[in-house]
Amino acid sequence: MKLNKINRFLIVITMIFTGLNAVANENQLENILKGPQRSDAHKARDVFRHPVKTLEFFDVQPAMKVVEIWPGGGWYTEILAPLLKDNGQYVAAQFNPDLGVAFYTNMRKKFEEKMAADKSHYGKVSITTFDPKTDIAITKAGTADRVFTFRNVHNWTRGGDKVVFNAFKTFYKALKKGGILGVVEHRLPEKADNSMQGKSGYMKQSYVIEMAQKAGFKFVASSEINANPKDNANHPKGVWTLPPMLRMGDKDKAKYQAIGESDRMTLKFVKP
């Protein structure tokens, strides 16, 4: 067999195995979504968060080491930890308990209790600390295959560009060469005033890409998996006007429920 024929053969075989692996991962994820570790309330949000398509876009594999930033109550933890528990490693980079912030302390405590109460589904979860204002390592440098942050970037803008940059630099340090950073964030239209960033809960996609690139990342691709064209990102109480928070209470509740959850960017970066 000539060399070019051998190369074509190898390419075909690789494509077949890649396709089979993708199907296997999708089936595994679909089964995890139906699992008892997920509440009905969390399952109801799948229609807005598209977890299977999102994790496929970020090319998550069961044998990887994955770090999730500020998992909060553990919506994605309930999917990622079961996926990784047998052959991979899930690391939850939680809130810093030493800051004396009651919300951070309570959320972390509840998360730790949740993980300890259901090891059959979550396995051995590593809980570390992420603080965008410090250089605390979220895991051993250069060991993570994936780092994910879901709807968090707006929280770091309170400290200005320096804090946002420091956050992305922390992710960069944690990843292996070739490792992927996945970002999902509420999206502010590019034409909107910059003063709306952060305080509204929405961020401009161009800004997020710029800050990640400044930290050393290469932008790979964006996806409209989590887009919502019904959301104009202009609401009385910012993104929290929409479900699931509905901070306007009963006022115009039906209107905001009809919009659904926020329009979101889904971005993939690689550590060169």
The pLDDT tens digits for 60-95 are 999 999 999 999 999 999 999 999 999 999 999 999
What single string gives the DSSP state of each residue in 102-160? Answer: HHHHHHHHHHHHHHHH-HHHH-S-EEEE--TTS---SSSTT-EEEEEEES-HHHHGGG-
Residue 4 has pLDDT above 90, yes or no: no
Residue 235 near residue 247 (C-beta atoms within 8 A)? no
pLDDT of residue 200: 97
The pLDDT tens digits for 119-129 are 999 999 999 99
Q: Is residue 208 part of a domain?
A: yes
Measured between alpha carbons, how far is 2 from 7 in angstroms, rounded to an integer? 9
For residue 205, the number of C-alpha atoms closer than 13 Å in the C-beta half-sphere is 19
Its domain, for residue 149, covers 35-270
**Mean pLDDT score of the chain:** 93
The pLDDT tens digits for 232-270 are 999 999 999 999 999 999 999 999 999 999 999 999 999
Q: What's the mean pLDDT in 96-115?
A: 95
The pLDDT tens digits for 19-53 are 435 555 789 999 999 999 999 999 999 999 999 99
154-161 contacts at long range (C-beta below 8 A, 24 or more positions apart): 154/185, 154/186, 154/197, 154/198, 154/200, 154/201, 154/202, 154/203, 154/239, 155/70, 155/198, 156/132, 157/197, 157/198, 157/199, 157/203, 158/198, 159/132, 159/133, 161/211
Residue 118 has pLDDT above 90, yes or no: yes
Q: Is residue 23 part of a domain?
A: no
Q: Is residue 19 part of a domain?
A: no
Residue 203 has pLDDT above 60, yes or no: yes
Residue 115 near residue 80 (C-beta atoms within 8 A)? no
pLDDT of residue 26: 83
The pLDDT tens digits for 159-199 are 999 999 999 999 999 999 999 999 999 999 999 999 999 99
Residue 18 has pLDDT above 80, yes or no: no
Q: Is residue 24 part of a domain?
A: no
pLDDT of residue 25: 78
Residue 184 near residue 54 (C-beta atoms within 8 A)? yes
What's 112's domain CATH number? Answer: 3.40.50.150
Q: Is residue 183 part of a domain?
A: yes
Closest CA to 253 of 261, 262, 263, 242: 242
Q: How many domains does the chain have?
A: 1
Q: Is residue 75 part of a domain?
A: yes
Q: What's the mean pLDDT in 97-114?
A: 95
pLDDT of residue 129: 98
Q: Is residue 7 part of a domain?
A: no
Q: Is residue 81 part of a domain?
A: yes
